[in-house]
Amino acid sequence: NIDWSPYEEDTAEKYEMMKATLREADYVAYSSKRIYDSVDELPERYPMTTRYYDAMFDGSLGFDLVLEQTSPPSLLGFTFDDRLADESWSLYDHPQVSIFRKVRDLSDAEFAAIFDSAWEEAVPWYRGKDSPLSPLLEAVGLGSSPGSAESGLISRLIAAATGKEATTATEAEHPTLLLTTPLDQLPAIDNYRWNVRASEQALPAVLIWWAVLTLLGWFAWPISFALFRPLRDRGYFLSRTLGWLLAGWLLWWGVNGGLLLNTVRHAWLVAALLGVLGLLAAVVQWREMADFLRSQWRLLLVGEAIFAGAYGLFLLIRLANPDLWQPWFGGEKFM
C-alpha cells in the first residue's frame, strides 16, 4: 500500500515523490473519481497533477487499465448512467473504481518529457474565479478566501468589542496547516460526556434529542413565522431546522470571535439567547400567532406526526446498525 498526496501543492518535491511512488508500485487503484475530477477543475493550481492523471489514463506512465467498474442505479429495468454527474451523487453508494497494472518502468527522460517541469506553472492556493458577490462576502467576512473570517467586518466588530486586534488580510494571505494556537494552550474540552444518563442509556438519549430539537424549533418559530408568511404553516415545519442552524451558527461565531468556548454551558447560553430573540419576535406578533394556532392547530399536529414518524424511522435504522462507523456497513459518512 503506497500513498502519496495528490492535493498537496505542485512542487518539484511532489514530482520526485510521484516518480518514486510509481516506480515502487505494481498496481495503482483509484477508489473513486473524487481526486482526478476535482484537480481537473483547477489546472492553474495543479498543472502537474492534472498531467499525471491524464497520462495514467492514456497509458503514457507505463500502466494499463485492467479494471473499471461501477454499479449505476437502475429502476424497473432502466439503468441510469450517472458517471458524468457530480461525484457526491455516487461516491458513497457506487463509486467508479479504476485499477491499473504496471507493464513497464519509465526512465527519467520519459518522465521529464511528460511533465516538462509543469509544477513551475502552478499557482499555489488558487481557488478558481470568484463570483460577482465575492468582494462583498470578503469584506463582511463570509468569503471563501483564506483569512476572510479573520479579516472581515464581523471579525473587526468582535475585535473592537473585546479589545483584541483583528487579523489583517495580508497576514492571512499564505495559510498553513498549523493551528493558530499551540495545542497545549487551548482550553480543555472535558465535558463532552456531560450527560451521563443520555450517554449510557438509549431511551433517555432518544427523548433528549427529540426534546432539544423541539425546544430549538419553538424558540425559532416566531422568527420563521415572520420570515415565511407565504407558507401555509408560516414556517412551523422549518423552525426546527432554523433553530438548529441559528444556535450552531451563533455558537460558532462566538467561539470564532473569542467570546465563547465550545462547551455545553455556552451552548445552552446561545440557546437561551435564541429563546430571548424568539420571545421578542413573539411579543411583536402574538395576536397573529394566536389566531394562527386557533385556526391551524390540526395542520401543526399533522406536521408533528410526520416529524415523529421520520425520527422513528431513522431510529430504527440506527437500531438495525448501531455501529454506524463500522467500515463496510457504515462508513465515514453514515447519514
Quote the pLDDT of residue 63. 97
Q: Bigger pLDDT: 31 or 130?
A: 31
Q: Across all residues in the chain, what is the average pLDDT?
A: 83
Quote the pLDDT of residue 97. 92
Quote the pLDDT of residue 148. 59
Looking only at the bridges linking them, the beta strands covering 63-69 and 97-102 are: antiparallel
Quote the pLDDT of residue 163. 66
Q: Is 296 exposed, middle or buried (0-12, 13-18, 19+ CB in 10 A)?
A: middle
Quote the pLDDT of residue 159. 67
Quote the pLDDT of residue 172. 47
φ, ψ of residue 53 to 5 degrees: the values are -70, -40
Residue 101 pairs with which residues in a beta bridge? 27, 64
- Please give the share of the chain, as a percent, with pLDDT higher than 90: 47
φ, ψ of residue 267 to 5 degrees: the values are -65, -40
Full-model pTM:
0.53
Comparing CA positions, the residue from 273, 257, 277 lying closest to residue 265 is 273
Beta carbons of 156 and 166 less than 8 angstroms apart = yes
What mean pLDDT is predicted for residues 256-268? Answer: 84
Split at pLDDT 50, 70, 90, the class of 111 is very high
What mean pLDDT is predicted for residues 56-70? Answer: 94
What mean pLDDT is predicted for residues 80-102? Answer: 84
Beta carbons of 148 and 142 less than 8 angstroms apart = yes
Exposure b/e, 2-41, CB count within 10 A at least 16 = b: eeeebeebbeeebbeebbeebeebeebebebbebbeebee
Q: Would residue 318 be called left, alpha or beta, if left means φ above 0 and alpha means ψ between -120 and 50 degrees?
A: alpha
246 three-class SS: helix
Comparing CA positions, the residue from 169, 124, 166 lying closest to residue 143 is 169
Q: Is 305 exposed, middle or buried (0-12, 13-18, 19+ CB in 10 A)?
A: exposed
> What's at 47, amino acid-wise?
P
Tell whether the model's pLDDT for residue 272 goes beyond 80. yes
Tell whether the model's pLDDT for residue 327 goes beyond 90. no
Comparing CA positions, the residue from 70, 51, 71, 69 lying closest to residue 61 is 51
Tell whether the model's pLDDT for residue 198 goes beyond 90. no
Which range scores top for mean pLDDT: 85-89, 160-164, 250-254? 250-254
Quote the pLDDT of residue 86. 76
The set of residues, in sequence order, having a beta carbon less than 8 Å from that of 329 and lying 6+ positions away, is: 321, 323
Tell whether the model's pLDDT for residue 333 goes beyond 80. no
* pLDDT tens, position by position, 222-253: 999 999 999 999 999 999 999 999 999 999 98
Q: Bigger pLDDT: 172 or 16?
A: 16
Q: Bigger pLDDT: 259 or 152?
A: 259
Tell whether the model's pLDDT for residue 326 goes beyond 70. no
Quote the pLDDT of residue 171. 47
* pLDDT tens, position by position, 295-323: 999 999 999 999 999 999 988 887 877 76
